C-alpha cells in the first residue's frame, strides 16, 4: 500500500549513532510512496555519508545553508515550503535545544524555524543516551517544543551504543514509518476510547488438546491499528495469536471465551466504541479433563458434553452504557454461506446497530478480505482489499455513524 503517496517529507539528520537507522527509514518512506529530501547537519555527516543518503533518496542531499545549487540561495525557504512534513530522525539532545531556542545557525535548524507552522508539521524522533534523555533540561525542552506545536514520536528502550540500557534509543524505522503514516490519517476518533476483540478463542478438552478455529486475528489487529491511526486510545483483547501488537495499542492477551468475556466487560466500562471482531467459540467442553485423554484400544471416541459460552457481543450491547448510546457496538459474523441472511439475523439477535459480515473460509489467515456492512437500512459491500485498507474504511464508516448518532 502506498500510504504516503503524494507526500513530500524532509528527512533531517542531526548527529548521533542512530543515523544508521535513517538509511532504512528513508528507504521505508519511499517504499510507502513518499518523496524524501534529506538534510543533514555537519555532525550527522560524521556518522553516515551524504552519498549514502543521496543514493537511497535519489535526490541531492543538502548540508549547508550556503548551497549555491538553489537559484535564490534560500534553501531554508525552498525546502521548507515544498514539504508536507519535516521529520528529524535522529534528533539529538543538542538539536532539540537548538529547536527550542529558535537557533538558526545551520541549514536544518534554519529551515525548521522558517517553515510555515500551520502548513508544515515538525515531527521529532529523539535519540540519545538514557541519562541525557532523563535530564530535566531535555524533558523541559521537549515539553516546550510540544507546546509550540511539534509532534514528539517518543523513544525506544534497550541496549545503547554506549553500553548502557534504558530509554532514549531512536525508535526503529518501521515504528517511525507507522507513526508518520498515522500522523497523516484523518483523526476521526481523536480522544475516543476504543475496545476491540480479535483472533480465536481456545477451549480446553484436556491439558494438551482444545477446540479453536482458523481465525488469524489479522482483521481485528488491522482495525486496532486503524483506530489508533484515527486518534483513538485502543485496547485490543486478543485470543491466542502470534501477531505483533499494533504500535500505540494496549494489548490484553486471553485464551478462552470466558477469559475474553471477563476482559471485555472490564474494559467496556470506559469505551465509547466496541468492535467485536474475535471469532469466539460458541460452546466449550462442560469439564476439561485433568490429564490427557488416552485411546483405550476400543476404537470408540469418548463422549463429551458441551455447555454454551457467554455471549460477549450481546452482553455488551445490552449493557446500560450501550443502551444509553454512550457505547457504540459493532459485531462481526464469519459465515460459510448465505452471508447477508445470516449477518442480518445476527444483527437483529445481538441488538447492535452495525454488523460486519465476511466469508470465513475465504479470509482466515489471508491478508485481504471483503466485508458486508449490515444495518437497519440494508447492506453495503466493501469490495476485496487489504485488511488494513478495509479497516480504515470501516473505522471511517463507524466514525460517521457515531457523529450522526450524537
SS (H, E, C) 312-377: HHHHHHCCHHHHHCCCEEEEEEEECCCHHHHHHHHHHHHCCCEEEEEEHHHHCCCCEEEEEEEECC
CB 365 within 8 A of CB 383: no
DSSP 269: T
Neighbours of 70 (CB within 10 A): 15
Give the residue from 269, 394, 386 showing the smallest Cα distance to 322: 269
DSSP H or E segment with residue 182: helix 173-184
Q: What span, in angstroms and rounded, lies between the C-alpha atoms of 53 and 40?
A: 9
Q: What span, in angstroms and rounded, lies between the C-alpha atoms of 391 and 236?
A: 14
Q: What span, in angstroms and rounded, lies between the C-alpha atoms of 145 and 269?
A: 35
Cα 15 vs. chain centroid, distance in angstroms?
29
Q: What span, in angstroms and rounded, lies between the C-alpha atoms of 198 and 359?
A: 16
Task: Give the 3-state secondary structure of residue 133.
Answer: helix
Beta-bridged to residue 39, according to DSSP, are 12, 62
Q: What span, in angstroms and rounded, lies between the C-alpha atoms of 309 and 213?
A: 15
The CA-based angle 241-245-251, given to 5 degrees, is 85
User: Considering 112, 162, 301, 329, which one is annotated as catalytic?
Assistant: 162
Q: Give the CA radius of gyration of the chain.
A: 25
35 upstream amide cis, omega within 30 of 0: no
Beta-bridged to residue 166, according to DSSP, are 158
**Catalytic status, residue 162:** yes
Residues recognised as catalytic: 162
Amino acid at each position: 500500500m502506498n500510504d504516503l503517496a503524494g507526500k513530500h517529507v524532509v528527512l533531517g539528520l542531526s548527529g548521533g549513532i542512530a543515523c544508521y537507522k535513517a538509511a532504512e527509514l528513508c528507504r521505508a518512506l519511499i517504499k510507502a510512496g513518499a518523496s524524501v529530501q534529506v538534510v543533514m547537519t555537519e555532525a550527522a555527516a560524521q556518522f553516515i555519508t551524504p552519498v549514502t543518503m543521496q543514493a537511497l533518496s535519489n535526490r541531492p542531499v543538502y548540508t549547508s545553508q550556503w548551497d549555491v545549487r538553489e537559484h535564490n540561495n534560500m534553501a531554508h525557504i525552498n525546502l521548507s515550503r515544498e514539504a508536507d512534513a519535516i521529520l528529524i530522525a535522529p534528533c539529538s539532545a543538542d538539536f532539540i535545544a537548538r529547536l527550542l531556542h529558535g537557533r538558526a545557525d545551520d541549514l536544518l535548524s534554519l529551515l525548521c524555524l522558517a517553515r510555515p507552522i500551520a502548513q508544515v508539521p515538525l515531527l521529532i524522533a529523539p535519540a540519545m543516551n538514557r541519562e541525557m534523555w532523563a535530564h530535566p533540561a531535555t524533558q523541559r525542552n521537549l515539553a516546550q517544543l510540544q507546546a509550540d506545536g511539534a509532534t514528539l514520536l517518543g523513544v525506544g528502550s534497550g541496549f545503547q551504543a554506549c553500553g548502557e540500557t534504558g530509554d532514549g534509543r531512536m525508535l526503529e524505522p518501521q515504528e517511525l514509518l507507522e507513526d508518520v503514516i498515522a500522523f497523516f490519517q484523518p483523526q476521526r476518533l481523536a480522544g475516543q476510547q476504543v475496545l476491540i476483540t480479535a483472533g480465536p478463542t481456545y477451549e480446553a478438552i484436556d491439558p494438551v488438546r482444545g477446540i479453536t478455529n482458523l481465525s488469524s486475528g489479522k482483521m481485528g489487529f488491522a482495525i486496532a491499528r486503524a483506530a489508533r491511526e484515527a486518534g483513538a486510545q485502543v485496547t485490543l483483547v486478543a485470543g491466542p495469536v502470534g501477531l505483533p501488537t499494533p504500535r500505540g495499542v494496549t494489548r490484553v492477551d486471553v485464551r478462552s471465551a470466558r477469559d475474553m468475556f471477563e476482559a471485555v466487560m472490564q474494559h467496556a466500562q470506559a469505551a465509547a466504541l466496541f468492535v467485536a471482531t474475535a471469532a469466539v467459540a460458541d460452546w466449550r467442553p462442560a469439564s476439561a479433563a485433568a490429564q490427557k485423554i488416552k485411546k483405550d484400544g476400543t476404537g470408540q471416541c469418548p463422549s463429551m458434553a458441551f455447555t454454551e459460552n457467554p455471549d460477549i457481543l450481546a452482553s455488551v450491547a445490552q449493557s446500560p452504557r450501550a443502551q444509553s448510546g454512550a457505547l457504540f457496538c459493532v459485531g462481526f459474523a464469519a459465515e460459510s454461506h448465505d452471508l447477508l441472511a445470516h449477518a442480518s439475523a445476527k444483527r437483529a439477535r445481538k441488538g447492535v446497530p452495525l454488523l460486519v459480515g465476511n466469508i470465513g473460509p475465504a479470509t482466515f489467515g489471508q491478508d485481504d478480505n471483503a466485508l458486508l456492512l449490515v444495518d437497519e437500512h440494508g447492506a453495503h459491500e466493501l469490495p476485496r482489499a487489504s485488511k488494513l485498507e478495509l479497516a480504515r474504511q470501516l473505522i471511517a464508516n463507524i466514525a460517521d455513524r457515531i457523529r450522526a448518532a450524537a
